[in-house]
Amino acid sequence: MPVDAAVIADKVQRVLAAVPAEQACDPGYVAHTIRAEAGGIMSDVEVLSVLRKLRHDSVGVGPLEQVLSLPGVTDVLVNGTQGVWFDRGRGLEAADIGFASEREVRQLATRLLVSAGRRLDDTQCFADGQLSRDDGSSVRVHAILSPPAQGGTCISLRVLRHAVTSLETLCERGTMSRPTKACLQQLVAARRSFLVIGGTGSGKTTLLAALLGEVSHRQRIICIEDTAELRPNHPHILGLVSRGTNTEGKGAITMADLLKQSLRMRPDRIVVGEIRGAEVIDLLAALNTGHDGCAGTVHANSLLEVPARLEALAARGNMSRDQLMSQLAAAKPVVLAMRRQADGRRVLHQIGVLSGIPTTVTVLWDVETMAQPNIDWAAVQQ
């Protein structure tokens, strides 16, 4: 009769939990325990199957490890027992692995979130967290149990690799032309504040990191993020990372909290990794109190969406529309729009500026209508 690796693995785990850690880590003892709990003759292949199950239940991201290790993978998605999908820049692809039961999916989701310091159970049926990996990258984990998820527990993994790309590398990749690169270098040198916008996976953080690498080495940059992704090639950069509540619901540090602290740390430039809420108010305050050259990213699909998007974010901090418009009119931030093409290539699509009351967007350059950007940043600042 075929061996049920999951059943035997559960029995072995109970035995290993009751013995000293040194003994539980002894491969010979583990193999002996597997054969003993099976209660019969087992082939080496069957023993390896149980060992693999034990490893998946305790190390890394379990059976998803083989998918996550594929070159270029950015997302891995588990739809209960219905299938596993991944994205490596060409749209979603089906993986050739799966889960035999809802129990296996839920067990993996619970273990990953507990490892990230989060709680996932029937009273807290969805959560997200972050895991560090040996290769220096991080994985953002989100899971939602069933119910409320129909069809089983769902797990979403997003690979977060540190953004260290230079403008020269982006040129070589086709993200921008060399005249556009020169235009952006002039933007940084002029100490204009700017926002990088785009959809999910459009390359916002990558472009931001590349631009920060162009900042004078005599300037101090403070980067505020909810996940440490920005690693620009700059000798004087300080990273501050927010955190959520612990399992007791305490200890949260918001990006708005960190932004307020950064104002007391003698910054030349303040960077917000992604503006998602009330921190937009503090960033606008920094833009208008002598901190030139501040930057951040905002999730928006086009330049025309930016004023409404910022208005919605500012409302979370009880800032009125008139107050927001006044702040934007004074700061006149430049907006760089990234877009992900159908073939997976990420390109700088538009450059604009926010100004006026009510705030409007002036398009300074569009890749589809203008050959090359020829922008006088001193004139734009007037």
Q: List, for residues 143-183, the tens digit of each pLDDT value.
A: 999 889 888 999 999 887 766 688 999 999 889 999 999 99
**Is 201 in the same domain as 189?**
yes
* pLDDT given at position 273: 82
* pLDDT given at position 12: 62
**Is 43 in the same domain as 69?**
no
* pLDDT given at position 37: 65
**Is 317 in the same domain as 173?**
yes
**Is 285 in the same domain as 300?**
yes
- Measured between alpha carbons, how far is residue 359 from residues 119, 307, 332 in Å? 42, 7, 9
Residue at which a domain ends, from 19, 36, 57? 57
**Is 105 in the same domain as 233?**
no
- Measured between alpha carbons, how far is residue 353 from residues 116, 181, 192, 330 in Å? 40, 18, 10, 12
- At 79, list the tokens: 């739809």
**Is 183 in the same domain as 98?**
no
* pLDDT given at position 113: 87
More confident residue, 93 or 38: 93
Residue at which a domain ends, from 105, 140, 161? 161
**Is 95 in the same domain as 224?**
no
* pLDDT given at position 1: 45
* pLDDT given at position 178: 92
**Is 360 in the same domain as 243?**
yes
Spacing of C-alpha 96 from chain mean position: 25
Q: Please enumerate in sequence order all residues whose Cβ is within 8 A of that of 119, keeping only pairs 6 or more positions apart, or say none.
A: 113, 127, 247
**Is 338 in the same domain as 204?**
yes
More confident residue, 57 or 373: 373
Cα dihedral 108/109/115/120 (nearest 10): -130
Helices within 175-300 (DSSP H only): 178-189, 204-212, 255-262, 279-287
Q: What is the pLDDT of residues 86-143, one digit of tens each?
A: 998 777 899 998 888 898 899 889 888 888 878 888 888 998 888 877 766 788 899 9
Q: What is the mean pLDDT of residues 237-255?
A: 80
Q: What is the mean pLDDT of residues 39-66?
A: 67
**Is 71 in the same domain as 207?**
no
Backbone angles phi, psi at 336, to 5 degrees: -110, 120
What is the domain range of residue 262?
Answer: 167-381
347: confidence class by pLDDT, cuts 50, 70, 90: very high
More confident residue, 219 or 286: 219
Question: Using CA of residue 186, residue 192, residue 193, residue 197, what is the dihedral sign?
Answer: negative
pLDDT at 194 over 60: yes
* pLDDT given at position 200: 80
Per the structure, how many domains does the chain have? 3
**Is 180 in the same domain as 108?**
no
Provide the percentage of residues in the chain whose pLDDT is more than 70.
82
Q: CATH number of the domain at 131, please.
A: 3.30.450.370
Residue at which a domain ends, from 107, 131, 161? 161
* pLDDT given at position 56: 54
Determine the Cα–Cα distance for residues 184 and 364; give it in Å rounded to an integer.
13
**Is 136 in the same domain as 180?**
no
More confident residue, 218 or 5: 218
Asked which of 14-28, 184-198, 246-260, 280-294 is least confident by mean pLDDT, the reply is 14-28
Q: CATH number of the domain at 175, please.
A: 3.40.50.300
pLDDT at 378 over 50: yes
